């Protein structure tokens, strides 16, 4: 891969093996242990103490994430939680194509145009005024129109890519679910 120059899999509880791998020369180490919290915490601590510049660690819970941060993880990811949130949003309406939480306060939503939006321009829909969201792009089949013109008329099967506060995104999800 052009992004990964060296990938390894090793027993993280064996410090000698990790030292032999020369982890201190790595730019980034990802600790992706899922179910064994002790091993996850120990591995994160060990690679950080070996001098790894950036450690990304997978957490199972908020508390696990706090512990990983406290012992030196530079970034903590919650893949199961994040995917659960995405799937939950996708299931709230047939119109929701995808949902990405940027932070606890802001999200991106891909929403299929609902019938009452058909043949109306973005300016007529006033989505920013009504819902506080900004349409960043419109997907039309395999094509994408980034920064669409406000005069663009929404068509059936268009997918709007919008950004806004999570609260505003939830409001438009309710509109789409009606």
**The pLDDT value given to residue 57:** 94
- Cα separation, 106 vs 167, in Å, equals 8
Confidence of residue 99 (pLDDT cuts 50, 70, 90): confident
**The pLDDT value given to residue 48:** 92
- pLDDT above 90 coverage of the chain, percent: 48
Assigned fold of 81-177: Alpha-Beta Plaits (3.30.70)
49 against 1, higher pLDDT: 49
- pLDDT (mean) for 136-151: 94
- pLDDT above 70 coverage of the chain, percent: 92
pTM: 0.59
Class of domain 15-77: alpha beta
- Cα separation, 122 vs 154, in Å, equals 7
Structural domain boundaries of the chain?
A: 15-77, 81-177
pLDDT tens readout for residues 9-62: 777 777 888 888 888 888 899 998 878 889 999 999 999 999 999 999 999 998
Mean predicted lDDT score pLDDT of the chain = 87
Count of CB atoms within 10 A of residue 113's CB?
19
Q: Is the pLDDT assigned to residue 85 strictly greater than 90? A: no
Task: Look up tokens 């609902």; give the residue.
Answer: 114
Cα 61 to Cα 45, 49, 76, 77, 91, distances in angstroms: 18, 23, 10, 10, 23
56: which strand partners? Answer: 30, 75
Q: Is the pLDDT assigned to residue 91 strictly greater than 80? A: no
**Burial class of residue 136 in the structure, from the number of CB atoms within 10 Å of its CB (0-12 exposed, 13-18 middle, 19+ buried):** middle
């Amino acid at each position: 891969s052009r992004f990964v120059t060296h990938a390894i899999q090793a027993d993280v509880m064996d410090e000698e093996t990790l030292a032999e791998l020369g982890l201190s020369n790595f730019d980034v180490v990802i600790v992706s242990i899922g179910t064994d919290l002790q091993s996850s915490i120990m591995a994160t601590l060990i690679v950080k103490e070996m001098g790894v510049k950036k450690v990304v660690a997978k957490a199972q819970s908020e508390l696990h994430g706090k512990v990983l941060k406290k012992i030196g993880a530079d970034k903590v990811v919650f893949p199961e939680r994040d995917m659960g949130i995405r799937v939950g949003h996708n299931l709230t309406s047939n119109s929701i194509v995808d949902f990405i939480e940027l932070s606890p306060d802001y999200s991106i939503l891909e929403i299929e145009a609902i019938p009452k939006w058909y043949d109306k321009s973005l300016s007529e829909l006033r989505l920013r005024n009504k819902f506080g969201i900004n349409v960043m792009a419109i997907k039309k089949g395999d094509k994408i129109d980034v920064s669409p013109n406000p005069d663009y008329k929404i068509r059936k099967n268009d997918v709007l890519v919008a950004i806004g506060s999570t609260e505003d995104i939830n409001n438009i999800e309710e509109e789409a679910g009606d």
